[in-house]
Amino acid sequence: MPKIKDLSLAEAGRLKVEFAEQHMPALMRVRQDFEKAKPLKGIMIAACLHVTKETAVLAKTLAAGSAEVALCGSNPLSTQDDVAAYLAKEGIDVFAWHGVTTEEYYWCINQALATGPNILIDDGADLISTAIKENKLEGIICGLEETTTGVIRFKAMERDKALKLPIIAVNNAKTKMLLDNIIGTGQSTLDGILRATNILLAGKTFVVAGYGNCGKGLAKRAEGMGCKVVITETDPIKALQAFYDGYSVMGMDEAAKTGDIFVTVTGNRDVIKGRHIEKMKSGAIIANSGHFNVEINTEELSSLSAGKRTLRPNLEEYRLKTGKIIYLLAEGRLVNLAAAEGHPSEIMQTSFCNQALCVKHAAQNRGRLEKKVYDVPHEIDRHVAELALASYGVKTDILTQEQKKYLESWEHGT
């Protein structure tokens, strides 16, 4: 039995999902193929994903392939209750509602695991690490991971010989990482900041902590909106890249003094600490777009504060004991999903084509995969790009036989 907030929201959810379907033609093409071939017959899937309209399109695609699908949320604030209601009405076993407590969050994960899945789809590794810790792995063929943070956790498990099942790092597909992480995060993070505050971006000093793919996309979009962009980094290679991309690069202690808006996208903890907050200008806005709410030390923010009030959804004003004001967005949880709706459908379609096709790949390779972290097969990655290009009517050049031969040979030189 699904557990959601309110089934009467299903009609609103249906309309949202229909709109998403219109903007995810590549994934709808995969759905058509799944409807014909039914490649997931007899497969039970448990997915721990942000419950958005795009995830609904994925869940329905997997169901079209004849899979039985259970779904729980991958973040306490990212579930869209209307979408959850619609999916529950469509026969998906949904265990998710907006604003779950930590205890409820893990209850939902355990409900999804109790459906007896064969394939686990994760976003952040909480579902699969729960299955591993609680030894609920019977019948499981493979796990798939959607995000960088989750892949890092699985690689750590692999290193520690604690990985108990094969994992496909869907995040690492080029048609995921180079699109979703860069373009998706760039747009959806600004979207979250704007929905929470409606401030003018032009002319602001926008500090991006972390210059991985997400940071790169965010910096570019903020620059495009007229911000002066400052990058903080710990990795010298990424810092040098940011410097050559034309951004000011400095440590957070320095950046804290100049920034108007701060966004963390590092995947690490304590990137903005009390000592940074003490240096910030009154009125500074801080937000996080990394997977977990550990990047901004909100406990230290609270202990520096004399009080706080909620001005509007996802916008909290902290009054520091010194009299300064600091605004925190979405409680320091991922601002793009908590204050907005996550990445747009067009971007999620390539990420989720990879998910759907990797589920099929895992089902077809039952028993043949080892307990290690796999990359997405190149043919799948390439096929996803072809599907997306075809949906836009974009044609590419095709290698001639001579060009193929040239690329494969080592004899030719100067």
The arrangement of strands across the sheet holding 325-329 comes to 248-249, 228-232, 205-209, 261-264, 284-288, 325-329, 315-320, 305-312
Residue 146 neighbours by CB under 8 Å, 6+ apart: 49, 121, 122, 123, 124, 170, 171, 176, 351, 355
Pairing of strands 305-312, 315-320: antiparallel
Binding residue for ligand ADE (CB under 6 A) from 9, 26, 47, 52? 52
Residue 316 neighbours by CB under 8 Å, 6+ apart: 308, 309, 310, 327, 328, 329, 331
Q: Does 125 bind ligand ADE (CB under 6 A)?
A: no
User: CA 373, CA 115: separation in Å to the nearest integer?
Assistant: 25
Stretch that binds ligand ADE, among 30-38, 51-59, 81-89, 398-406 (CB under 6 A): 51-59
Total number of residues that touch ligand ADE (CB under 6 A): 10
Q: In the bound complex, what is the minimum distance in angstroms from residue 80's beta carbon to ligand ADE?
A: 9
Stretch that binds ligand ADE, among 47-55, 129-137, 202-210, 301-309 (CB under 6 A): 47-55
Q: Does 342 bind ligand ADE (CB under 6 A)?
A: yes
Q: Does 343 bind ligand ADE (CB under 6 A)?
A: yes
What's the token pair of residue 248?
Answer: 């000011």
Stretch that binds ligand ADE, among 44-52, 163-171, 290-298, 318-326 (CB under 6 A): 44-52
Q: Does 2 bind ligand ADE (CB under 6 A)?
A: no
Q: Does 213 bind ligand ADE (CB under 6 A)?
A: no
Of the pair 145, 260, the CB lying nearest ligand ADE is at 145
Stretch that binds ligand ADE, among 46-54, 65-73, 218-226, 260-268 (CB under 6 A): 46-54
Q: How many CA atoms lie within 13 A of 356 on its CB side?
A: 34
Of the pair 143, 342, the CB lying nearest ligand ADE is at 342
Binding residue for ligand ADE (CB under 6 A) from 47, 55, 63, 284? 55
Q: In the bound complex, what is the minimum distance in angstroms from residue 213's beta carbon to ligand ADE?
A: 13
Q: Does 181 bind ligand ADE (CB under 6 A)?
A: no
Q: Does 186 bind ligand ADE (CB under 6 A)?
A: no
Of the pair 55, 350, the CB lying nearest ligand ADE is at 55
Binding residue for ligand ADE (CB under 6 A) from 16, 31, 50, 153? 50
Q: In the bound complex, what is the minimum distance in angstroms from residue 348's beta carbon to ligand ADE?
A: 5
The whole-angstrom distance between residue 409's C-alpha and the CA centroid of its chain comes to 40
Q: In the bound complex, what is the minimum distance in angstroms from residue 342's beta carbon to ligand ADE?
A: 3
Of the pair 170, 222, the CB lying nearest ligand ADE is at 170
Of the pair 62, 249, the CB lying nearest ligand ADE is at 62
Q: In the bound complex, what is the minimum distance in angstroms from residue 337's beta carbon to ligand ADE?
A: 6
Q: In the bound complex, what is the minimum distance in angstroms from residue 74's beta carbon to ligand ADE?
A: 8
Q: Does 54 bind ligand ADE (CB under 6 A)?
A: yes
Of the pair 187, 205, the CB lying nearest ligand ADE is at 187
Q: In the bound complex, what is the minimum distance in angstroms from residue 199's beta carbon to ligand ADE?
A: 22
Q: Does 136 bind ligand ADE (CB under 6 A)?
A: no
Q: Does 117 bind ligand ADE (CB under 6 A)?
A: no
Q: In the bound complex, what is the minimum distance in angstroms from residue 395's beta carbon to ligand ADE?
A: 28
Q: What is the contact surface with ligand ADE in residues (CB under 6 A)?
A: 49-50, 52, 54-55, 188, 337, 342-343, 348
